[in-house]
Amino acid sequence: MNRQERMHLLSERTALQRMIEATPPEELIDLRSLNTRLEIVNLQLAAAPEDTRQPARAKLTFRGRPVVGSFGIFAEFGMEATKAFTDAVAAVAASLSAPLQAMGPIPNRAQNQLLITSTATGSFGFELEEHGAEQMTLEDDSVLGIAIEQTRQLLEGSVGSDDELADAASEIDPRAVGAIRAFLEKLATSEAVCAVETNEGRFAFSDVGQVRTSASRLAVENLVEEEIAVTGEFQGALPKRRTFEFVRTDDGEVLVGKIAPGIRNPEQINDHLHQRIEIQLVRTKVGSGRPRYLLKNLPEWPENEQATAG
């Protein structure tokens, strides 16, 4: 049963339940008919569980000068700020599969679309939902779900310590970081703040000053990312936690880093431990914090070498 079919049955079940509640007890024939149909719908739902995953969702709300309480938002700001946010998420999503070029269109933009499905109250904003999830099975990864969560984590990290910001930024392409900074600059120039709520958590800026500080901390002068080549040996990897240890040959330093989401088979690393190899890492450093390392691609393993025991 796909998502659309399941949603239809769920809607019918809700309607039947309301009709049963509204039917007087003396109307036995109508009640019997409605209850029979409700039993059939429940059996269909139980017999055919949903085989597509739920779409990734986010709630984006705003406060500040362009927002009129929970009543409304100035259209120009709402359109431009929401576009800046969805552009940032699309850039993060595209970078999960391949590094982004410094210029030019963001790859896979059409596949990484977010729908506005409703307005969000509390202050004022929008509920956003991944487009096309109904065509994906439960086993399919939600690239947009990962991108939305990484975007929220970077916004949260931008108000934390240098180490917290480096942790959040280490998995995000520099161009995608720039897109998130552009979103913050739009908020700051409009004297607005935002809150972002995902399935994993919620983050909200306290005031416009905090937004301005966060934007400046995401500048390339403060958040330095560079690609480096390192020669050494893998000591091990934890595929589920997506982390690795690598001993650098020239000084013996153990580098501990993350494995990028785009690497589908990180368990391969453990088949090639203690082999001398050159790998490409992204090193991220914020202010005085310690550097973080990200392995974006697996190396070309030497065919004539075999992994040796630890």
Burial (CB < 10 A; 0-12, 13-18, 19+), residue 127, is middle
The mean pLDDT value of the chain amounts to: 88
What one-character-per-residue DSSP string does 124-180 give?
EEEEEEESSGGGSBTTS--HHHHHHHHHHHHHHHTTS-HHHHHHHHTTS-HHHHHHH
Structure pTM? 0.75
Residue 106: the pLDDT is 87
Residue 206: the pLDDT is 96
| Residue 136 vs residue 231, higher pLDDT | 231
Residue 137: the pLDDT is 44
> According to the CATH classification, is domain 225-295 in 1.10.238?
no
Residue 96 tokens, joined: 């999960």
Is residue 120 classed as helix, strand or coil in its secondary structure?
strand
Please compute the mean of the pLDDT values over residues 76-89 and round it to a whole number.
96
16-58 pLDDT per residue, tens: 998 998 899 888 888 999 999 999 999 988 886 665 567 889 9
6-16 pLDDT per residue, tens: 777 888 999 99
**Alpha-carbon span 62 to 180, nearest angstrom:** 16
Q: Which residues contact 218 (CB under 8 A, 6 or more apart)?
A: 154, 158, 169, 177, 178, 180, 181, 184
**Alpha-carbon span 244 to 235, nearest angstrom:** 8
